[in-house]
A = this chain, B = another copy of it.
Amino acid sequence: MALIEAFKQLLGDTAVLTHEDDLAGLTEDWRGRYSAPALCAVLPASTEQVAAVVRLCVEHGVPVLPQGGNTSLCGGATPSGQGTAPVIVALTRMRRIRSLDPVNNTMVVDAGCVLATIHEAAAAAGRLYPVSLGAEGSCQIGGNIATNAGGTGVLRYGNTRDNVLGVEVVLPDGTIWDGLYALRKNNTGYDLKHLFIGSEGTLGIITGAVLKLHPLPTAEAVAWLAVDTPQQALDVLGLFQAACNSRLSAFELMNARQIELVLEQVPGRRCPVAQVDTWHVLVELSDTGEPQELAAAMQAVLERALEAGLISDGVVASSEAQRKAMWLVRHSVSEANKKAGVGLTSDSAVPVSVVPAFIEQAMAAVRAIVPDLTFIIVGHMGDGNIHLIPFFSFAAWDAMPDRDVVGQRIRRAMNDVASALRGTFSAEHGIGRTLTGEMSRYKPPIELTLMRAVKEAFDPLGLFNPGRVLPPAASEDIRRAAPVSSPPIATSHRGD
């Protein structure tokens, strides 16, 4: 085929993958849920090569699918199986740290850099790149930026969006936009960078970025708390914010069932507090400076919380080993939950102040569909980002005849509650292909209209990652008129 030949001429034979075996890791997502053929995959080695690839795709009218580390949780980075098979543009060969300026606290990187590599390069210069997530050993910074990745550092440092000062983008017509500004202040027209951040490859291919660096923390204090209710956790959060300000770097909430599952399923995990049957909070302070200062600050807040009757127990880690052990419990939740059964995770965020209301109302809404259901609850409470997980044993799930419909109704119910509380159905995972229906249902029509206007203006041929992020134009009218298989369960429980 002419296009593939042209790619080979441009990039060399080895940089154009067409054989099924070579494509296997690129045409299927890492969880094995989505798989569809690509025309081929290309591995450009420079921004100019990416631009040339795009121009060839435009010439041949073939869709372009930018792919980072292929760690999407919502099918955003693999072929859709609809329309013309796309060209996957993978930036794995573009993984240079282009430069690091410790005085300006910035780093310029190729988009194909793996996140962990960026962490290491920053640390070697005594700096921190603060976005940290489970997939950091394989996800690429270009994908992080294209999806505005969240993770565990958001409470203190913000999302990826807040840690990117500039981007280099190959636009849908093959033009390169060098927006690699390394400035803290720049009021010269519309901030285009923010359009590309979070656009999931639908407006262009991010090929490089200027990242913001921070001082590398030299001290940490970690504590594990037992609280009776989410509301008490919220009150404790308020105490920490008032006393510790930006030193508060994590405030994670877990319910009893979550801890029980970790203890049951993952060998070697211990509950840091005596009582398991309670709500649990993992709190972390971090800072430059001396560890004793942080430990004293932690102690002072915990004493106040105890006096106020907000916590029933609390343990401060007294060594690096204890700190690690506490975080290990938190980081074992995915493994535990996967081993124990089937969870229908939500990626909800609501205003922090209504997290307790969200948990209560969403549980009630789901129980109206499946009574007596168990819930796992784990979340970044400081960001209002709660993963509410209606949980089935494998046996119960397998025995359910209409589980797809029930699953869909359950997700809808949770998202309806979040929406009614002015929250969101996708806090950090993005839209990809799986949540375009939710976009139709929950976003105001005018917001979709504006987004489509942007898409149309930047990618008039519609070749960039088609079918992702934005639902087809007509869909919201249909969906709003007749909410598919979703009786008004959720909203009827809003007043609970």
Contact = CB atoms under 8 A, between A and B. Distances in A.
B353 A447 contact: no
Nearest to A192: B450
Given A177-B446, A289-B243, A446-B175, A424 B191 contact: no
A254 to B, nearest CB: 18
A449 B347 CA distance: 36
A335 to B, nearest CB: 24
Contact of A177 (B161, B435, B450): B450
A288 B186 contact: no
Interface stretch (A5-13, A31-39, A193-201): A193-201
A2 to B, nearest CB: 28
A234 interface: yes
Interface of A: 101-106, 126, 147-148, 150, 154-155, 159, 161-162, 171, 175-192, 194-195, 197-199, 203, 214-215, 217, 234, 238, 241-246, 287-289, 293, 297, 349-354, 380, 383-385, 422-431, 435, 438-439, 442-444, 446-448, 450-451, 453-458, 469-470
Contact of A184 (B189, B246, B352, B450): B352
Contacts of A245: 214-215, 217, 246, 287-289
Contacts of A179: 447
Given A150-B185, A161-B191, A179-B447, 16 more contacts: A105-B352, A126-B242, A176-B446, A177-B446, A180-B422, A181-B422, A184-B352, A184-B383, A184-B384, A186-B426, A187-B431, A188-B426, A190-B203, A195-B195, A195-B454, A245-B288
Nearest to A382: B184
Contact of A191 (B195, B243, B456): B195
Contacts of A431: 187-189
B104 A469 contact: no
Given A104-B351, A171-B446, A194-B194, A424 B185 contact: yes
A287 B185 CA distance: 23
B384 A150 contact: no
Please tell me how many copies of the chain the complex holds: 2
Contacts of A297: 289
Contacts of A456: 457
Contact of A444 (B102, B178, B425): B178
A187 B430 contact: yes
26 contacts: A104-B352, A104-B354, A178-B444, A181-B424, A183-B384, A184-B349, A184-B384, A185-B424, A185-B427, A187-B429, A188-B424, A188-B438, A189-B198, A189-B431, A189-B451, A189-B469, A190-B199, A190-B450, A191-B198, A192-B447, A243-B289, A245-B289, A246-B246, A289-B297, A454-B457, A456-B457
A447 B177 contact: yes
Contact of A187 (B194, B195, B198, B380): B198
A350 B384 contact: no
A190 B457 contact: no
B352 A103 contact: yes
Contacts of A349: 183-186
A219 B20 CA distance: 64
Nearest to A181: B422
A176 B194 CA distance: 22
A192 B289 contact: no
B183 A351 contact: yes
Contacts of A195: 190-191, 194-195, 454
Given A351-B101, A431-B187, A453 B458 contact: yes
A287 to B, nearest CB: 6
A181 B427 CA distance: 12
Nearest to A460: B453
A425 B288 contact: no
A316 B426 CA distance: 48
A385 B203 CA distance: 31
B197 A191 contact: yes
Contacts of A155: 184
B288 A243 contact: yes
